Chain A
Amino acid sequence: MAHRKARERDMLDSVYSMLALVFILVACVELCDAATVVDVYRLIQYDISGVPFGSRLASLNHHAGSLHFSPGADLSRTVVMIPVRELNISFVTEYVSRKHPLGGMLFLLPEIFRLENGGGGKDVREKEVVKNVLLELEKLLVHAKLPYPVYFAFENDEIDAVLDDVKKNDATGQPATATTGGYKLVIPIAEPKKVASPTITNIQGWLQGLKADGDANQLPTIAIVASYDTFGAAPALSVGSDSNGSGVVALLEVARLFSLLYSNPKTRGRYNILFGLTSGGPYNYNGTHKWLRSFDQRLRESIDYAICLNSVGSWNNELWIHVSKPPENAYIKQIFEGFTNVAEELGFKVGLKHKKINISNPRVAWEHEQFSRLRVTAATLSELSAAPELLESTGGLHFVDETSFIRSVQLVAESLARHIYGYQGKNIQIFADNSSLAVNPSYIRSWLDLLSQTPRVAPFISKNDPFIMALKKELADHTDEVIMQHEVLDGMFTFYDSTKASLNIYQVASVTFDLLLLLVLGSYLIVLFSFLVITTRGLDDLISLFRRPPSRKVEVSQEKLANDNYECVMV
């Protein structure tokens, strides 16, 4: 008996140590194999001169809720899933402006906006409605400070099913928390860090003009400039097909046409043409500013004028030329006349808008203003009639209309050519359709396609990004000399990383369920135990397990009686 007890004690000890080990191992919960994993894109997080904007958090670990929650519910530990198709912008406005505590927001974009599907074409009307909602939403979110994570995702079947389930649960009036089950959205990502020294890269291409023998003076230069980077609510989705993808493609097409002309010395003009693809556009044209500052004084003085292209892809029948010098200025008049003549021939109007520069105001509304501040004549060609505010119209989700875009390219090319070759006022079409110098629609289409699938927010593009290399190579094909300039973005803007993440959606059971299950299992085991004891040993034994022995004598006699009973059964 004692021997047995000692053995039992040893066994118990080893069992306890085993249990302790098991508990330690079991305590690490694995976050693998979720039901659904979705790619999500974070709202941009940035500071302007220390003032924070955008979504300030990245990691997410809360329950999912939908817009059908009961009013007054506490949403501080819920992520609200909002399909943009059914968005009521006033809800978001209210939540943002009143600074209600929220666990997070997940916006679901319709499938058609997915980058691989390209831009424009299919279901244009459906896109229009959602586009407008998106633009408003973008404007709201970019200028607000949100102390919770905000993400964008594309709709697919799985996430739609999850949303339907969540809506059903919410309709019953129970908010999803740890005790009521539902879905849990988890994004395991580190805290966002500042992007150290965001670089902006300017690419310039130089087409040399024809220098007459014995001409010692430097040839005059005409500059064509477009900024290629974007800024939007979701940096991983900011493709900006129209602003300013259209400007970039127009510049490349004009470069291609002029390189054809300039390749033959007989048709080479007496002007140098400078092509500039600048970065830092949304940030007061910081890149253009640094690019111009890097110029030699002589070079700057030799620039006759500069044309900046900004959103020329989706207009109806009027383009605008924005200037900062007064319209009475001779140079401005000349440029404007040249453009108007060509526009008339092509069948549309060009208007002139004058906006004075305020030197003390750091805000630079148009790219040409950077030129004007350094006393270079410049104008911006754009479909926008008014200057956009800071960080607006800078790469949202407009789509490009091919016919109007081709007309813009023709306008720019013809006007420039007439000025270069001295054919102002004469009705000669240099880049006529169906000629070898016609605007090439497939070239334009392929580049627009590329641009509408490449997000290009400057702080998140490295110096050697493949897109920048592609632009450099393309410009090098068309021009004589290509120079890249790498600069650091102005310190006024600070950006934070973590723009893309993976969302895990888990279907979780509530704590109440687990407790209930424990209760059920406990009672099942107890019932099983009692059943087995009763059937194999008899009811008396079961009762004897619970009853304390009344006295030793009675216990001994009871045992003896039980043992006798047993022996009878055994035989």
Chain B
Amino acid sequence: MTVFHFFNCAILTFGPHAVYYSATPLSEYDTLGTSVKAALVYLGTALVKLVCLATFLKVSETDNFDPYQELLKALIGFIDVAGLYFALTQLTHRNISQNHKFQAVGLGWAFADSVLHRLAPLWVGARGLEFTWDYLLQGLEANANLVLSISLAALGSLMWLRKNKPKTLIPIIYACAGIVATMPSITSYLRRGLGWQFPKVVGFELFTSLVMAFISWQLFSACQRPSA
């Protein structure tokens, strides 16, 4: 039942995005346009990243962890942050509250990420007769990625859209944003440098995404309190 398996993995990978959109007030305020725009910005960012990687990175034959290459990849990863900045600040959105703006942008960002990175392997691989756990783990990774994207968007909106923030919290905000932004490098270090197996890496990602989400939620509500 391989089409069945493909269907299962697909709903695991893309279901939470749809559920998030329909469950939260996002659907009531019709923020689909914002999400679509954010997805397009992600596409553009991905292309720019691809060009930079192709230009600056060497192709290594072995699968070892090379610190310089990884540092370079992390730096290029910050293009992601720039893209998010562009999506949050430069795009004209309809009158949506800040609360919903970052959620919509994060959702669109994560959805584009899942589609670009996970749809093709799923299509080609999960329909075969051979059964592996890889595609389910990939789906869980997509879930973790959704949470991370939304927390990054939340922290981004705190950094760039909110003008009056309590002074003490600013460094924490930047630190958390930094951690979330470098998550890809951290996971690749774990996989290559420490040799963790895929399930372990996915578990780590899920755990950190929940922790980061909690922290950014606390930060967001803390920043919101003075103005409330």
Residues of A bordering B, CB below 8 Å? 26-35, 178, 181, 184, 186, 506-509, 511, 514, 517-518, 521, 524-525, 528-533, 536-537, 570
Is A536 in contact with B8, judged by CB distance below 8 angstroms? no
Output the nearest chain B residue to A505 by Cβ-Cβ distance: B130
- A-side contacts of B109, CB under 8 Å: none
A536 contacts which of B6, B7, B24, B131 (Cβ < 8 Å)?
B24
Given known A34-B129, A184-B129, A533-B23, contact A29–B3 (CB-CB < 8 A): yes
Give A305 to B52 CA distance when docked, in angstroms: 87
Give A525 to B19 CA distance when docked, in angstroms: 7
- B-side contacts of A509, CB under 8 Å: 1, 5, 131
B8 contacts which of A30, A35, A521, A530 (Cβ < 8 Å)?
A521
Is B128 in contact with A529, judged by CB distance below 8 angstroms? no
**Tally of contacts, chain A with chain B, CB under 8 A:** 82
Residues of B bordering A, CB below 8 Å? 1-8, 11-12, 15-16, 19-20, 22-25, 97, 124-125, 127-131, 136
Give A536 to B16 CA distance when docked, in angstroms: 16
Is A29 in contact with B23, judged by CB distance below 8 angstroms? no
- A-side contacts of B4, CB under 8 Å: 511, 514, 518
Give A506 to B7 CA distance when docked, in angstroms: 19
Is A528 in contact with B2, judged by CB distance below 8 angstroms? no
- A-side contacts of B124, CB under 8 Å: 30
Closest approach, in angstroms, between the C-beta of A508 and any C-beta of chain B?
Answer: 6
- B-side contacts of A32, CB under 8 Å: 128
Is B97 in contact with A511, judged by CB distance below 8 angstroms? no
Is A186 in contact with B23, judged by CB distance below 8 angstroms? no
Is A529 in contact with B22, judged by CB distance below 8 angstroms? yes
New contact pairs (11) apart from A27-B3, A186-B129, A517-B8, CB-CB < 8 Å: A33-B128, A33-B130, A184-B129, A508-B130, A511-B4, A514-B8, A518-B7, A525-B15, A529-B23, A532-B19, A532-B24
- A-side contacts of B127, CB under 8 Å: 26, 28-30
- B-side contacts of A537, CB under 8 Å: 24-25
Closest approach, in angstroms, between the C-beta of B13 and any C-beta of chain A?
Answer: 10
Give A245 to B16 CA distance when docked, in angstroms: 69
- A-side contacts of B97, CB under 8 Å: 570
- Per CB-CB distance, the 10 closest pairs between chain A and chain B, nearest first, are A532-B23, A506-B129, A509-B131, A514-B4, A536-B24, A506-B130, A529-B23, A533-B23, A514-B1, A529-B19
Closest approach, in angstroms, between the C-beta of B138 and any C-beta of chain A?
Answer: 14
- A-side contacts of B15, CB under 8 Å: 521, 525
Given known A514-B1, A518-B8, A521-B15, contact A508–B20 (CB-CB < 8 A): no
- B-side contacts of A517, CB under 8 Å: 5, 8, 136
